[in-house]
Amino acid sequence: MRYFLEIAYKGTQYNGWQIQKNGHTVQGELNRCLSTILRQEIEITGSGRTDTGVHATAQVAHFDYDGELNPDRDAFRFNSFLPEDIAVKAIRPVHSEAHARFDADRRSYEYHVVQHKDPFNDHQAHHHRSALDVEAMNNAAHHLLGRQDFESFSKVHTDVNNFFCDISRAEWKHEGQRLVFHISANRFLRNMVRAIVGTLLDIGAGKSAPDSLPAVIAARNRSAAGKSVPAHGLYLTEVRYPASVYLNE
Amino acid sequence: MRYFLEIAYKGTQYNGWQIQKNGHTVQGELNRCLSTILRQEIEITGSGRTDTGVHATAQVAHFDYDGELNPDRDAFRFNSFLPEDIAVKAIRPVHSEAHARFDADRRSYEYHVVQHKDPFNDHQAHHHRSALDVEAMNNAAHHLLGRQDFESFSKVHTDVNNFFCDISRAEWKHEGQRLVFHISANRFLRNMVRAIVGTLLDIGAGKSAPDSLPAVIAARNRSAAGKSVPAHGLYLTEVRYPASVYLNE
């Protein structure tokens, strides 16, 4: 049987999602835990990697198990075995061809900013000290919407065929003590959200002109955009699939 | 000039509030920081101590400074120098006799409980696994109100003259993903909030009878009450003073 696993993790103590020979990774921890508990070699495949220090409230991964799981009971067993900073939120049976990476039709991220010193932050939000014009940041973010070439916000050496992404949401909201950027798209390039947020913060802080974003996109050149913001403000918050991947539960 | 300092701290990395010869304490960090920045020996006096691992969102302390402070500018300077897990929220000038401990007329604490595994918890809430009857816990908490002898909830070897406390608030509330106990009183005995919370959780989990609390209080014996819950769920959230302690600002 093939299953989707929905997972939350705090990325601070991990060298990112993807398994490495000599690194402590979320994928590595999950493979180890599932293989031990299910007494067979389990290899999970994520919807995509997250970088060192990046968090997830709802990463999705698939795996095959030669047997049948009891979603609630087994999620509880996995959670008892996994470290405190990784939690399994759900296990769902899917069709045998369902693929966590290739079938995802929308991904969402949040970037969390705090503007005051917060002793309880614990690497869970980026502390940005200067005043921010959130309205200007939202006006600029509006230019990100739709299908466009986002090479200006991509890591320079990357192996993708094209830089087109279709962004369906891009907005800043005040949420409690935090200022949160919400962004959704069919796909994201490596480092893209952090480069976009850095560019928008420059606009909010008055370091770049409020109307500069269209020219930054049009440049198709990483050096036209702002600096990447730190990993610890970034959260993968949703990976959406067509309903047809799931088995009737 | 005498000043009140309002301070927030995450207690996880500290051996409590009170300065010790060989311990890393919040009071010790603040004395060191203020003395360095103000270039004179500063000794702060807190409203009361908090134990190892206990947090504060609004501890208050007083100190004397031979000079005049600019509250906003100097709070910013202190925060730049202090570690990430201690923040100065306000500096307020007070009368030369004002005392952070003796003049406080009400103190408030919160105890934070989570019932599901949360990778972002970071020692900021107590994970209680079993189901809880919050209505029963609130009915029991109601019996705590008023001026009573709380020896049943006090550390056994303690040097207080009497165990009377006047509790003005005691209630559980759902707040986002957390279940939070709010308690306010004129004074608290050592370990009192954690012993009260442990006793109420036993009632909520069905380990003690819903109507058992009055007998626990009447026993005036620590062994009649439940176990103390862990320090990392506890927050000192307010210390209130009569308006007369403050200088006109």
pLDDT at B41: 97
- Asked whether A191 and A130 are in contact (CB, 8 A), the reply is no
**A14 DSSP assignment:** S
Instruction: Assess if residue A244 is contained within a domain.
Output: no
Please determine, for residue B63, whether its predicted confidence score (pLDDT) is greater than 80.
yes
Measuring CA to CA, which residue among A102, A93, A112, A85 is closest to residue A48? A102
Residue of B51, B118, B159, B211 with catalytic role: B51
Query: Are residues B112 and B216 both part of a single domain?
Result: yes
- CA geometry: angle at A51 spanning A50 and A52, to 5°? 130
Residues A78 and A120 in one domain: no
In whole angstroms, give the CA distance from residue B38 to residue B30: 12
Domain that includes residue B227, residue range: 106-237
Q: Between chains, do A119 and B84 touch, taking CB under 8 Å as contact?
A: yes
DSSP-derived 3-state class of residue A29: helix
User: Which residue in A87, A117, A119 is closest to B117 by CB distance?
Assistant: A87
Mean pLDDT across B160-174: 96
* Residue-averaged pLDDT of chain B: 96
- Assign B232 a pLDDT band (cuts: 50, 70, 90): very high
Confidence category of residue A158, pLDDT binned at 50, 70, 90: confident
Q: Give the integer Cα–Cα distance in Å for B184 and B239.
A: 9
Give chain A's domain count.
2
| Per-residue pLDDT at B159 exceeds 90 | no
pLDDT of residue A22: 86
In this structure, the answer to whether residues B178 and B229 fall within a common structural domain is yes
Q: Which residues of B touch A85 (CB under 8 A)?
A: 119
Do A48 and A135 lie in a common domain? no
CATH number at residue A69: 3.30.70.580
| Mean model confidence pLDDT for chain A | 96
Specify whether B135 is located in the same domain as B20: no
Which of B73, B103, B133 is a domain's end point? B103
Chosen for mutation from A7, A84, A117 (greatest number of chain B CBs closer than 10 Å) is: A117
- Closest Cβ opposite residue A119 in set B87, B116, B118: B87
**Does A53 fall in a domain?**
yes
Nearest Cβ partner for A119 among B8, B116, B121: B8
Determine the distance in angstroms separating the CA of A120 from the nearest CA of chain B, rounded to an integer. 6
Which pLDDT value is given to residue B22? Answer: 86
Which B residues, 133 through 152, put their C-beta within 8 Å of a C-beta on chain A? none
Percent of chain A with pLDDT over 90: 94
Contact B26, B9 (CB under 8 A): yes
* Terminal CA-CA length for chain A: 13
Check if B122 contacts A (Cβ < 8 Å).
yes
Q: Do B119 and A79 touch (CB under 8 A)?
A: no
Question: What was the ipTM of the complex prediction?
Answer: 0.91
Q: Which residues contact A33 (CB under 8 A, 6 or more apart)?
A: A78, A81, A82
B93 with B8, same domain: the answer is: yes
Three-state helix/strand/coil letters over B162-224: CCEEEEEEEEEEEECCEEEEEEEECCCCCCHHHHHHHHHHHHHCCCCCCCCHHHHHHHCCHHH
CB of A124 less than 8 A from some CB of B: yes
Task: Say if B248 falls within a structural domain.
Answer: no
For residues B97-105, give the mean pLDDT.
97
The mean pLDDT of A28-43, rounded to a whole number, is 97
> End of a domain among A83, A103, A123?
A103
Crossing angle of the two packed helices A71-81 and A26-38, in degrees rounded to 10: 120
The total number of residues written for chain B in this structure? 249
**pLDDT attached to residue B48:** 95
CB atoms inside a 10 Å sphere around CB A248: 4
pLDDT tens digits for range A81-138: 999 999 999 999 999 999 999 999 999 999 999 999 999 999 999 999 889 999 999 9
* B109 appears as a binding residue in the annotation: yes
pLDDT of residue A64: 98
Q: Do A121 and B8 touch (CB under 8 A)?
A: no
Instruction: Identify whether B98 is part of a domain.
Output: yes
The answer to whether residue A243 is domain-embedded is no
Find which of A78, A120, A126 to mutate to test the B interface (most B CBs within 10 Å of its CB).
A120
Q: With beta carbons less than 8 A apart as the criterion, state whether A59 and A238 touch.
A: no
A190 touching B (Cβ < 8 Å):
no
Give the type of residue at A211: D
Whether residues A120 and A61 share a domain: the answer is no
Of B76, B103, B130, the position where a domain reaches its end is B103
Q: Are residues A166 and A226 in the same domain?
A: yes
CA B26 and chain centroid, separation? 13
Residue of B nearest to A80 (CA): B117
pLDDT at residue number B249? 60
Q: What is the CATH number of the domain that holds B147?
A: 3.30.70.660
CB contact under 8 A, B119 and A84: yes
pLDDT greater than 70 at residue A234: yes
- What pLDDT is stored for residue B157 in this prediction? 80
- In this predicted structure, the answer to whether residue A249 has a pLDDT above a threshold of 70 is no
Domain presence at residue A246: no
Rounded CA gap, B57 and B59, in Å? 6
End-to-end Cα distance, chain B = 13
Q: Are B194 and B113 in contact (CB under 8 A)?
A: no
Give residue for tokens 């005036």: B220
Same domain, yes or no: A148 and A171: yes
The pLDDT tens digits for A53-91 are: 999 999 999 999 999 999 999 999 999 999 999 999 999
Residue A156 has pLDDT above 90, yes or no: no
Distance separating alpha carbons of residues A20 and B71, to the nearest angstrom: 50
Specify burial of residue A130 (Cβ count, 10 A radius: 0-12, 13-18, 19+). Answer: exposed
- Is residue B51 annotated as part of the catalytic site, yes or no? yes
Active site residues of A: 51
Contact flag A119-B79 (C-beta cutoff 8 Å) = no
In a domain, B244, yes or no: no
Note the pLDDT tens digit of each residue in A180-230: 999 999 999 999 999 999 999 999 999 999 999 999 999 999 999 999 999
Instruction: Let me know whether A93 and A169 are in one domain.
Output: no
Is A143 in the same domain as A33? no
Q: Is B51 found in the same domain as B144? A: no
Distance CA A25, CA A124 (A): 18
- Tell me how crowded residue B162 is: count the other CB atoms within 10 A of its CB: 9
Q: Measured between beta carbons, which residues in chain A are less than 8 angstroms from residue B17?
A: none
Tell me which chain B residues have a C-beta less than 8 angstroms from the C-beta of A119. Answer: 8-10, 55, 84-87
Tell me which residue of B164, B158, B55 sits closest to B112, measured CA to CA: B55
Residue with tokens 């997250």: A50
For residue B86, give the chain A residue with the closest CA.
A119
> Residue A157 — pLDDT band, cuts 50, 70, 90?
confident
In a domain, B243, yes or no: no
